[in-house]
A and B are shown apart, each in its own frame.
Chain A
Amino acid sequence: MGADLAIPVFEPWTDPQAKPLIQFQNVTKRFGDFTAIDDLTIDIFEREFFALLGPSGCGKTTMMRMLAGFEAPTEGKIFLAGQDIAPVPPNQRAVNMMFQSYALFPHLSVWENIAFGLKREGLPRNDINARVEEMLRLTRLEKFARRKPHQISGGQRQRVALARSLAKAPKLLLLDEPLGALDKKLREETQFELMDIQEKTGTTFVIVTHDQEEAMTVASRVAVMDNGKVMQVATPADIYEAPNSVYVADFIGDVNLIEGTVTATGEGVYALHWREGAAPLVVKSPNTISDGQIAHLAIRPEKVTISADKPESADNAVQGKVLDIAYLGNLSTYHVELPTGDVIKAQTANTRRISRRAYTWEDTVWLSWTATGGVLLGE
């Protein structure tokens, strides 16, 4: 009984039996001399909210355009529900796209924009009406149905674009920087709206974004891309807590990177010799690193504790001087300079008013963190 009541965890990627909805098999895409996508293999499962994250020019948009059918892979194959989609033109794919510019038809009303795809299918008039009304309700646009795109706000246009791309109930919805044109506040609201709609409709969403916060918020899994290659595919928590490379650790959020030579001291426990004369740092890391190898300790600033006195029972503790304080309102980031010249960032929540701040510039402080606080990343 107890097992039945538990909400099943949605993670089809851990289930070897699950069949992926989309499979990229060794896909390479070249434009002349330029390689946009380099030998990429990736599986995306049904009902996933999958984010492609990377800096501009990393190939994420090219990947999306290949799914939509606007680009064909130079090498390799793309499968949608087990079918090779290379020969299927964009207008016959069960895939719809929400464009970065929204691409709303300026000569058509909101209602006609949403109905556009349905009319092409030649559905009966009543079915079209019902479906459009449903989409208008879902995106809370009922009042604006008769307006033209230039008569509504940016946020409303974004919702029209979403409604239009969802109207045909595609197997897969592609979203190209869907919130890029919205201001911060509206973007955050819309992120939750998107997740809500994704859950309600059960559609598989693939979103392209360069905004890591957005990817972390909405996605079930995130693929971090760089130069046409996927660096890591994992849940937002894993990407943040257990990055597999210095690139990913550095790209997502703020991180301290400490370089040193590694010696194993126990089961998954390593000592990082990072400076001549300084005590080695103790790290418990899931990644296996061989003795004598050069590695980076990646530790997030919020996992570093700052204190006035040397902590009693910390795995790692170093002393330094406060160099800079970045006050963010809810948080403060302290930049602490060690005697070796290295600067380590430590972040604390501002639970007290700023006038009662414990540390200020030039104060000598202790920084400490646990052995499991960070991860070791090989070269």
Chain B
Amino acid sequence: MRRFFLIAVPYVWLLALFLVPFIIVLKISLSDAAIARPPYVPQFEWAEGIRAFFAELDFENFTWLIEDDLYWKAYLSSLQIALTSTLLTLIVGYPIAYGMARAPEEWRPTLMMLVILPFWTSFLIRVYAWKGILSNEGFLNQFLMWTGLVSEPLQILNTTTAVYIGIVYTYLPFMILPIYAALERMDDSLIEAAEDLGCSRLSAFWLVTIPLSKGGIIAGCFLVFIPAMGEFVIPSLLGGSDTLMIGKVLWEEFFSNRDWPVASAVAVILLLILVVPIVLFQRNQQKEQEGDA
């Protein structure tokens, strides 16, 4: 009984906070838009019965998503932006994590603190701050003009470049922390052993350090890729009109067009796309834990 209760708690949690909302969204995605409140039909009426209610649901919205190239272009472009920014975050994050793990022990908590510190400020405020840095009259352009590297201000804000900068900046801690955890656990004598057996510094890094931090790299990549895929605040604040991301499309369908059914269909597809990396991520975490045991 006690055991049953213990297992039941997480399942009830999952049911209430994930499955029920998902079914509601799925139901809306199968409905039709209407000028009503809430803005879709059918609504469930006890008088008409369940059969009549189901008869009115259809896959019209999903067909629409396939027919209109805006949507699949947005999915593809999101995928591409998410993949590229994950790679960029890895390139920036790995050396930072490596440096932290190699730093003297007494510095490490401070360095860790510095990585986490930005979370103390609202995410929105930090993204707005980037507007101030990247705009034509912003700090970055003023600095570049002052050094004489450029004579005209660079157009960075409202381009996809700004979106990359925003995503890398925002999700960097999610990349650094798992890689740092993997590297910090590593025994320094492994590198010495590799050198002792004939490796140069560089080949010891490739043959020992990288494989041993693989779990951290994979975890970090998923932690960046999954939220970046559905990101909408960064592209709407820093991106331009040509930055196409599915999160932004979803937002517009929902709030500008008030087309809840199409917006829900977009959300359902996004979820289906993300299920794959989420499952892979879980499997990686499990494997890591087994390796430790």
Chain A residues at the B interface, C-beta cutoff of 8 Å = 68-70, 89-92, 95-97, 99-101, 103, 105-107, 116-117, 120-121, 150, 164-165, 168
Segment with Cβ contacts to A, from B139-147, B168-176, B184-192: B184-192
Known: A101-B189, A103-B189, A103-B190. A96 touches B196 (CB 8 A): yes
Known: A103-B187, A105-B208, A107-B212. A91 touches B193 (CB 8 A): no
Q: Say whether A168 contacts B211, CB under 8 Å.
A: no
Sample of 8 more A-B contacts, CB < 8 Å, known A97-B192, A97-B196: A69-B196, A103-B189, A103-B190, A105-B190, A105-B194, A107-B211, A107-B212, A150-B291
The 3 closest A-B pairs by CB, nearest first: A117-B197, A120-B198, A103-B193
29 contacts between A and B (CB under 8 A): A69-B196, A70-B192, A70-B195, A89-B195, A90-B192, A90-B196, A91-B195, A91-B196, A91-B197, A91-B200, A92-B198, A95-B196, A97-B193, A99-B189, A101-B187, A103-B189, A105-B193, A105-B194, A105-B208, A105-B212, A107-B212, A107-B214, A116-B194, A116-B207, A120-B197, A120-B198, A120-B203, A121-B198, A168-B197
- Which B residue's beta carbon lies closest to that of A89? B195
Q: Which residues of A contact B193 (CB under 8 A)?
A: 97, 99, 103, 105
State the Cβ distance, A344 to closest chain B Cβ, in Å.
Answer: 46
State the Cβ distance, B191 to closest chain A Cβ, in Å.
Answer: 9
Q: B41 on the interface (CB 8 Å rule)?
A: no
Q: Say whether A116 contacts B197, CB under 8 Å.
A: yes
Q: Which residues of B contact A70 (CB under 8 A)?
A: 192, 195
- Which A residue's beta carbon lies closest to that of B198? A120
Dominant SS among interface residues on chain B: helix
State the Cβ distance, A215 to closest chain B Cβ, in Å.
Answer: 23
Q: Which residues of B contact A97 (CB under 8 A)?
A: 192-193, 196
Q: Bound state CA distance, A105 and B211, in angstroms?
A: 10
Known: A99-B189, A101-B189. A90 touches B208 (CB 8 A): no
- The residue that B198 contacts in the complex, of A101, A106, A168, with Cβ under 8 A, is A168
B212-228 CB mask vs A (1 if < 8 Å, else 0) is 10100000000000000
Q: Which residues of A contact B197 (CB under 8 A)?
A: 91, 96, 116-117, 120, 164, 168
- Which A residue's beta carbon lies closest to that of B215? A107
- Which B residue's beta carbon lies closest to that of A65? B192
- The residue that A68 contacts in the complex, of B196, B199, B211, B214, with Cβ under 8 A, is B196
Q: Bound state CA distance, A209 and B105, in angstroms?
A: 28
Q: Which residues of B contact A120 (CB under 8 A)?
A: 197-199, 203
State the Cβ distance, B289 to closest chain A Cβ, in Å.
Answer: 13
Q: Which residues of B contact A121 (CB under 8 A)?
A: 198
Q: Bound state CA distance, A89 and B203, in angstroms?
A: 14
Q: Which residues of A contact B187 (CB under 8 A)?
A: 101, 103
State the Cβ distance, A266 to closest chain B Cβ, in Å.
Answer: 56
State the Cβ distance, A328 to closest chain B Cβ, in Å.
Answer: 37
- Which A residue's beta carbon lies closest to that of B190? A103
Q: Which residues of B contact A101 (CB under 8 A)?
A: 187, 189
State the Cβ distance, A178 to closest chain B Cβ, in Å.
Answer: 13
Q: Bound state CA distance, A204 and B93, in angstroms?
A: 45
Q: Bound state CA distance, A97 and B194, in angstroms?
A: 10
State the Cβ distance, B91 to closest chain A Cβ, in Å.
Answer: 22
The residue among A69, A95, A106, A168 with the most chain B CB atoms within 10 A of its own CB is: A106
State the Cβ distance, B291 to closest chain A Cβ, in Å.
Answer: 7
Q: Bound state CA distance, A91 and B190, in angstroms?
A: 13
Q: Which residues of A contact B291 (CB under 8 A)?
A: 106, 150
Q: Bound state CA distance, A95 and B196, in angstroms?
A: 8
Q: Which residues of B contact A150 (CB under 8 A)?
A: 291
Q: Bound state CA distance, A150 and B196, in angstroms?
A: 22
Q: Bound state CA distance, A121 and B203, in angstroms?
A: 13
Q: Bound state CA distance, A103 and B211, in angstroms?
A: 15
Q: Which residues of B contact A96 (CB under 8 A)?
A: 196-197
Q: Bound state CA distance, A168 and B197, in angstroms?
A: 8
